[in-house]
Amino acid sequence: MLIGYVSDERYVALADVVLEFVNEDGSSWETRSRATGSVHLDIPAGKYTVTLQKPGYGAKRSQVSVPLPAPHQFRLLSDGLSGYAWPKWVRSGESSEFRVHSVEPYQLELWRYGWKPELVKSLGWHDEHGPRATMQVTPDGDYTQTGVKWNSVGYTNEAHKQYVEAPELSGLYYFRAQTASGLKFSFPWIVAPRTPVAPLAVLGSNLTWNSYNSFGGRSNYINADKLPPTPTVNSRYDLVRYCDPRFLTWNWPSYAPLSFDRPEPFNHIDFDTQITDPIHGRQACHLAPAEWRLLGWLERQGLAYDFYGETQLDDETLDLQAYRALITAVHPEYWTRKMYDRVKKWVFEEGGRLIYLGGNGLNCEVTLQGSAMVVHNGEITGLDVDGVGGESRLALRHESEASLLGVVFTPTGIMTGAPYEVIDNNHWAFDDTGLNNGDLFGTRSLHMRCPGGASGHETDKISASSPANSRLLAKGLNPDDGGAEMVNFETSNGGSVFSVGSISWVSSLPVDEHISQITENVIRRFIEE
């Protein structure tokens, strides 16, 4: 009979795993998983302890009862190094537990990521008396919904857990883990201020980080609705993303939760990376490694800021009334409705100033459920207005984000890079740049996935939903009239919004003088006037 399937942390099928089934009487049966990861064994009804072993993976024990209502999903964790802090976002003085997976001794350090990464403190070497005892164990089943819950199996004594108190200075911190054999892994930690300090707040896009995190076999882009019933053998054969010509990333009526309680491999930053180094790879250019470029640049320019996660805007840790301006940057694609409505009220009724240094932002509503989030993508047939059924996924459930940002994502120009062209050089954003109408700026960029300039990767434009007084300042020269549109508008109560409409903008900040000057002009005007 089919008992179940064995897969790894990517939900890839594992063949030739040895499984021993022992019932309550002590009788035992042995089998091995097949090429699909399937486990077949004819055994009597009853409760079983199942021990799994495969070289290169951590052994584990699971409990099953036969007959099973559905095939059991056995999950193994490959040997290696990874980790995360829990909670992933705190305030100064609060503590998080570091949860590291390693099969050998490892050293851990805490670093703060400003213009240059700075060592905060060493957290020492870690291993255990037992063999491979620092190895973590993942739950069976779909833990993209429930979380990996590391530091639970075998961490029954509070002395086994490891906590770190958040430093007083707000910012983006990284834990750096390194094993005795030289493996390296880094993971981020958002530290908000104990109380507001600076006039400027900056949001880390941790909702987007989680949406793209595929640890466990699901993200909002791979198996977005739920895990399929059988693990992947070959992506090109098995994932509808590749094998179904009609496939669209989001075409289901509902989507299972995505837990924050998982490592985030896409946010890893190599230890020797400097802020002016090119950003390589598919994901780093629009997640935390790119957002670091903004924070470091702010410190280089002497612009004080308080750093928060988007989840801390939702839970009201971030008090907008304490700040003159708010920055959201790079790729803040996923927001809760509570966040959106609060920021819009702050801008339109309370005189707040919003600086949007990103692209494809605020495009989709999510709801938070404990330590997980549910993404409300809906059933769409394309990324344009016809395919979505509106200007965005947010517009389908609430209103177009152009009502707040002045711009909204369109698929034209996607995955290209280009400089901007000045359209309205009389605007104060161009002060001290020497730029005139028709001039190009944003020619230099660290963004290597879509090289070519500060307008790129994904770009936003003015729409029918934009405020009537939105002023077009510049436009990217991307193909198919797909360039990002830089806009500014003011509200009747003294609020203002400045939007650049490009994921790639921040990747130009450390290396492009015009991008730097324009951004500094906006920030200083918004926080000082």
Q: Quick one: average pLDDT of 302-321?
A: 98
Instruction: Please report whether residue 246 resides in a domain.
Output: no
Residues 448-482 have pLDDT tens digits of: 999 999 999 999 999 999 999 999 999 999 999 99
pLDDT at 248: 81
| Percent of the chain surpassing pLDDT 70 | 100
Residues 362-415 have pLDDT tens digits of: 999 999 999 999 999 999 988 889 889 999 999 999 999 999 999 999 999 999
Instruction: Please report whether residue 478 resides in a domain.
Output: yes
| Domain boundary pick from 51, 75, 99 | 75
Could you give the CA distance from residue 263 to residue 114 in angstroms, rounded to a whole number? 23
The residue among 365, 361, 356, 433 whose CA lies nearest residue 398 is: 365
pLDDT at 352: 98
pLDDT at 161: 79
In the predicted model, is pLDDT for residue 160 greater than 80?
Answer: no
In this structure, the chain runs to a length of 529
Q: What angle do CA 205, 211, 213 make, to 5 degrees?
A: 105
pLDDT at 489: 98
Could you give the CA distance from residue 310 to residue 210 in angstroms, rounded to a whole number? 11
What are the tokens at 434? 């020497």
In the predicted model, is pLDDT for residue 310 greater than 90?
Answer: yes
How confident is the prediction for the chain on average, in pLDDT? Answer: 96
Direct distance between the N- and C-terminal alpha carbons of the chain, in angstroms, rounded to an integer: 73
Number of domains in the chain: 2
Could you give the CA distance from residue 154 to residue 230 in angstroms, rounded to a whole number? 29
In the predicted model, is pLDDT for residue 176 greater than 90?
Answer: yes
Could you give the CA distance from residue 66 to residue 64 in angstroms, rounded to a whole number? 7
Residue with tokens 């941790």: 206
Q: Quick one: average pLDDT of 227-242?
A: 93
pTM for the structure as a whole: 0.97
| Percent of the chain surpassing pLDDT 90 | 92
The CATH number of the domain holding residue 367 is: 3.40.50.880
In the predicted model, is pLDDT for residue 520 greater than 90?
Answer: yes
State whether residue 81 is helix, strand or coil: strand
Residues 115-128 have pLDDT tens digits of: 999 999 999 999 98
pLDDT at 158: 80
Instruction: Please report whether residue 189 resides in a domain.
Output: no
**Beta-strand runs (E) in 323-444:** 325-330, 334-336, 353-358, 364-369, 372-375, 408-410, 417-418, 420-422, 440-441
In the predicted model, is pLDDT for residue 194 greater than 80?
Answer: yes
pLDDT bracket for residue 159 (50, 70, 90): confident
Range of the domain at 41: 2-75
Please check whether residue 505 is in contact with residue 286, taking contact to mean a CB–CB distance below 8 angstroms.
Answer: no
Residue type, 164: V
pLDDT at 245: 80
Residues 78-108 have pLDDT tens digits of: 999 999 999 999 999 999 999 999 999 999 9
| Domain boundary pick from 75, 97, 115 | 75
Q: Quick one: average pLDDT of 128-143?
A: 94
Q: Measuring CA to CA, how many Å separate 288 from each of 97, 186, 292, 304, 450?
A: 20, 11, 6, 19, 17
Instruction: Please report whether residue 136 resides in a domain.
Output: no
Q: 263-272, 383-392, 517-526: lowest mean pLDDT where?
A: 383-392
Q: Measuring CA to CA, how many Å separate 337 from each of 201, 344, 393?
A: 19, 10, 12
pLDDT bracket for residue 278 (50, 70, 90): very high
pLDDT bracket for residue 246 (50, 70, 90): confident
Instruction: Please report whether residue 52 resides in a domain.
Output: yes
**DSSP string over 256-295:** --EES-S--GGG---TT--TTS-B-SSSGGGSHHHHHHHH
Instruction: Please report whether residue 188 resides in a domain.
Output: no
Instruction: Please report whether residue 470 resides in a domain.
Output: yes
68 and 213 both lie in a single domain: no
Please check whether residue 215 is in contact with residue 264, taking contact to mean a CB–CB distance below 8 angstroms.
Answer: yes
Q: What angle do CA 144, 204, 365 make, to 5 degrees?
A: 60
Instruction: Please report whether residue 53 resides in a domain.
Output: yes
62 and 204 both lie in a single domain: no
Q: Where are the alpha helices (DSSP H) in 316-398?
A: 337-350, 385-388, 393-397
| Domain boundary pick from 23, 58, 75 | 75
Please check whether residue 221 is in contact with residue 214, taking contact to mean a CB–CB distance below 8 angstroms.
Answer: yes
State whether residue 150 is helix, strand or coil: coil
What are the tokens at 148? 């990996």
517 and 379 both lie in a single domain: yes
pLDDT at 129: 84
The CATH number of the domain holding residue 41 is: 2.60.40.1120
Tell me which DSSP letter residue 142 carries: -
